[in-house]
Structure 1
């Protein structure tokens, strides 16, 4: 399922249950009021709490959805690229767009206001020229000069209005215009003046009849300027014979459209200046639509009422390209000239509505080739940026896919491992760190799979060894034989699950006992199998030899003769049979003895085994060695020896697992220490003697595990 919709809803907690309960109660109260018309007390509070509960639950679900969405590394990488790559690109694009918007608006305003200032200067020059012409002309010709001059000027200034005061005589142009005189009459007007709902460019030129000079306007008509203090009685200081010329150029739709042809729509927005003592609440009902402007400490509110007539109805230029957006910009509010001193103080801003392409056409002198070149250059740069961005996106997506694919494959691999399937392998491509990580995962699963197979094989072998151990325990004598004149006991402690040492007791009759001890070359399964073979061969040979002796009458227990079993012959047969049926490297040391309980006679053959010890009183005698180990050479010759056991004599047979264990200094336990332990415990039972010897060996090595199979047979003549 797509992770956007794979949202697992957790169990509701106590707070969540309360929130859901509030929503349910609010819904029930709403239904009761709507359907049944019941008035539920406290419904408003309940609804408010339900809104809070809905918000909290929505917030928790949103967090849960975001966590689920970002669970996959791929989604995290996509979000990372969005924040690292796309968000800065959007911010830069927005910054460039905002800068272009501001620059376009500011340039458009500059073009319009510069042209307006230039025309205001021309109008001021026209008024000044008329003053100088009137000063130079005789008084009788001045009226004719005024009409002819203004008629000629009206051709360049459509809708021009004028008021000329010459030596107390007033001339209004065009005749019958009804232009009221400014108050006070001597005030100097310049810039833009508002009469009713109309705006005018005003130019004022004056000259005393004697020496006054003309003052042309030197600053922008739309620039914010501080309010000039006018001295009371300034007008009265003017002489009545002063020459004054006031020119008014209407700023109507057609005139504003000619300021910058092709630029866009030009209009005026009027404001009221809110004084520092006026609060916002006091002027709230006296403002018109539009934003309130704050310039430093000054606050300008839109003027209520209808919009002024000084607004160009010229439509916006058609967009030259797709992103040729409309731009609206205006100047800072500037004070308008008051025609009468008691008129309300009004501020205005020049507002421009244009497009970047229109500004480009004006800046580059209406040159289509230049504009097209700029557009083509910008398109080329934008295309280059887009190609670089797409290339970066492709590279980023490729790297992201590599990362997420490797992580996803590793996740799937861990899921297979979690199910116990270690045969799953990750497809590896590349030579980066993630590819090496995938290879390491494959090597790890392969090693684990191999170890599991080895573990299974080990368990199988352990099971087989356990079976072999149980079988071998069945091969060892279950209990020592009971003889009237001999106490004998054998013990075998295996270093592993099964032992390669061997001991056996065969009670031939009430007076006859055959016993053996051996040490097979090798340990574990191979030694145990060879030990089982030796036991089987020995019992077969012993049964055959004992049968022949019984048939010859050798079993007569009442004749008083000493029983001497042919141990050498039996060991020779065992050697040959073992040699023929086993591999050359398999052999064993072997001690075989036949005991006559009636006479205490022990007949034995020692085939390369460690000589058993005969403890008589406090003396120690080592029994003979009568030949080579069995199974090594086919024609080895063996002899047999005899020894008569006295009452109290102790025979101790053992394997090298008793004498050869080493301590931490690599020193062997040795026969001397064995003899010392046996001599100190010679009067104790065979079981106690064996336990003391095993304990002494364990104390010597200092480790609980055995270094080799440890086997002992202890016999005492009673």
Structure 2
């Protein structure tokens, strides 16, 4: 087991690249450094090791992405899924995210609006109470009692009004004083009320209504002076921003928390624990107190989407500076939680029962869209399955083809391009199978041709015989793998040599087989006693009878057979329809034409024997029609004259050189690498 595990570890290590190994080494070094640091030892440049470890981690993530992409996205199905995710799912998620963020912002702003509106509503009530108290008070207004101390000097209406408002304004306090300087904004000729407060321009009174901060305490306050004189009576109504008041504010909201702020001169000072700092414009503020509800909880959600929303709101309070001489505007931060259902009911409360109708209509539209999306999803899945199924069928088919099974067919009844692709693959498989079958037949034929070529090579003389006073050379260039031309030399004694050149009708294996039969028949004649004395005409006559009975009717051959006696320099020959050889002697040319018709066509044929005495220095040339019939690009044959001129041009060269030059000249004349016929030349020089 351990050997197998170590083998897997070794294979995994060998599969890694140099950067992989470097990243692994860095991870091990960093781990060792962290162990040393954990044991209390100081490691120099530990930050540098951490930096390199981050680089190694980034590289590991990159490699992991590459590996996952390589393996996960290999199949077309996974690629289509990823494409659909980026094309459809990701935009939908982005839209849902934008909708979620937008709805959170909208409901947060709506909650802030509800909270601000409720605060302003209570400030408006304080302002109305101040007006009522001022109207109901005596002209002087001195020694007017607080609301909770003595209400006997107030009118019954004002007393009942204070009692009614005390429930929504817990801790309501009323104070009568004199002096316009008691106004928080007395230095202003006409202080602008906060939003929602009564317009001070409606009478000659001077007033202030808003949030007022004293130290870490925050109040809802309304201050009203009877007239602009400095000793005018001033009534002040204050409600502390306490837990009891927050419990009554904005019942649509959940938990509410208010943070009381004060300006701080040095922003660079270290904040205290749980201290919150806030910078606005060029001033910095810090938290000095927090007021939060304790008995309020969010109602349970009405639907699955009715999630908790958290919002923030910023109010403005008027506070005195630390020296008590200047006033400043201090932000008051409020946070809250809410349910979208409660806020939306507040938003649609103005249209009454119609809100449910609109919401139901929205649900119907959403359900319709959901059905359409489900239908689109079903269609997309079906189309994807059809695509991936066709590709999977093609892949399985290619695996069968790779294994050598060309009988496998793809079943496809589809009428689209994928179906046609499967049919095309089936047709291609049939074509490939047919081509492979043809290739195998061709290979067998080539093997047979190679064997025939080797057999034919054995039929040609391996080495030329030696005869006193006679030099020989021969060259055969086949047009195909095997040749239909034939030449041979047969020693008949110490001074006699028989040789033959033949041209079998046709090319290829059939001609080669007829050539082998011709050679066997020729050599078989000279195995009999006294055969050397036979005339060349008798030898050719016997060859003719053999070919007539041993070959098809359309097979024949032209041949030239001769016997040369070096002692008498006499050449006996018979030409059976072959191109007449030439004997070049002392500037004259003699054609060797005596003989008869071709062999292999007619049974009873008479052949004649010719004799010629070969003088010393003579050159005998026998050839086949493949040396005179090739045509150039203009359709002109090489011809006999050019052949003789080429031989005479190289008359003084070696016979092998003459043969090679003649064949090369003919090939250059034709100008094509393919030969139209076999080329054979036999040369004999008498010395």
TM-score interval, smaller chain:
0.7 to 0.9
Match for residue 490 of structure 2 among 483, 506, 510:
506
2:647 matched residue in structure 1: 678
Match of 2:164 among 156, 160, 168: 156
Q: Name the CA shift for 1:86/1:687 in 2 (closer, same or farther; >3 Å).
A: closer
2:349 is the alignment partner of 1:365 = yes
Q: Distance in 1 between matches of 2:141 and 2:64?
A: 94
- Secondary structure of 2:580's counterpart equals coil
CA root-mean-square deviation:
4.7
1:68 aligns to what? 67
Cα deviation per residue 1:195-240 (whole Å; 9 max; x = unaligned)?
68765433333334xxx7xxxxxxxxxxxxxxxxxxxxxxxx42x4
Change (3 A) 1:325 1:266: same
Give distance in 2, aligned partners of 1:130 and 1:688.
Answer: 144
Q: Distance in 2 between matches of 1:403 and 1:627?
A: 78
Tell me how far apart the structure 2 counterparts of residues 59 and 339 of structure 1 sit (CA, whole Å): 54
- Following superposition, the deviation at residue 71 of structure 1 comes to 0.6
Matched, 1:10 2:13: no
Where does residue 697 of structure 1 map in the other structure? 666
Q: Name the counterpart of 2:611.
A: 643
Aligned residue for 1:364, secondary structure, equals helix
1:99 CA drift (Å): 1.4
- What is the match of residue 524 of structure 1? 508
Which residue in 2 is equivalent to 1:279? 266
The residue aligned with 1:101 is: 104
Deviation track 1:150-188 (CA, whole Å, cap 9, x = no partner) reads: 31212421154323459x9xxxxxxxxxxxx88999984
Which residue in the other structure is 1:320 paired with? 302
Deviation at 1:588, TM superposition (A): 1.5
Normalising by the residue count of structure 1, what TM-score does the alignment of the two structures yield?
A: 0.74
Summarize the Cα distance change of 1:329–1:257 in structure 2 as closer, same or farther, 3 Å threshold: same
Do the aligned partners of residues 199 and 684 (structure 1) sit closer, same or farther apart at CA in structure 2, a change above 3 Å counting?
closer
The one of 532, 536, 540 aligned to 2:520: 536
Deviates more, 1:91-100 or 1:463-472: 463-472
Say whether residues 1:126 and 2:125 are aligned partners: no
The alignment partner of 1:498 has SS state of coil
Query: Against the structure 1 CA distance between its residues 69 and 409, is the aligned structure 2 distance closer, same or farther, given a 3 Å change threshold?
Result: farther
Distance 2:460 2:141 in 1: 162
SS at the partner of 2:208? coil
Match of 2:286?
A: 301
2:630 aligned counterpart, secondary structure = coil
Range that drifts further, 399-408 or 601-610: 399-408
Aligned to 2:226: 207
CA distance in 2, matches of 1:24, 1:257: 55
How far is the alpha carbon of 1:672 from its aligned partner?
0.8
Contact 1:273–1:298 at 8 Å: present in 2 too?
Answer: yes
Match of 1:475 in 2: 459
Number of matched pairs = 639
Which residue of structure 1 lines up, in the alignment, with residue 190 of structure 2? Answer: none
Q: Deviations over 1:370-409 (max 9, x none)?
A: 5655554554455455555555656666666677777788
Match of 1:146 among 135, 146, 154: 154
Q: Which runs of 5+ in 2 are unaligned?
A: 1-10, 146-150, 188-205
Contact 2:474 2:681 in 1 (8 A): yes
Residue of structure 2 in register with 1:173 after alignment = none
The offset of 1:517, in angstroms, is 1.4
Query: Hey, what's the Cα distance between the residues in 2 that align with 1:683 and 1:581?
Result: 43
- Does the aligned pair in 1 maintain the 2:23–2:59 contact within 8 Å? no
Q: Which runs of 5+ in 1 are unaligned?
A: 1-5, 169-180, 213-236, 556-562
Quick check: 1:713 aligned with 2:682?
A: yes
> Is the alpha carbon distance of 1:595 and 1:393 closer, same or farther for their aligned partners in structure 2, counting shifts above 3 Å?
same
Relative to 1, partners in 2 of residues 1:336 and 1:407: Cα closer, same or farther, differing over 3 Å? farther
Residue 645 of structure 1 and its aligned partner are, at CA, apart by 1.5
Q: Is the 8 A contact 2:23 2:60 kept in 1?
A: no
Q: Contact 2:141–2:176 at 8 Å: present in 1 too? A: no
Closer, same or farther: CA 368–47 of 1 in aligned 2, 3 Å: farther
Relative to the length of structure 2, the TM-score reads 0.77
* Segment of structure 1 superposing worse, 454-463 or 495-504: 454-463
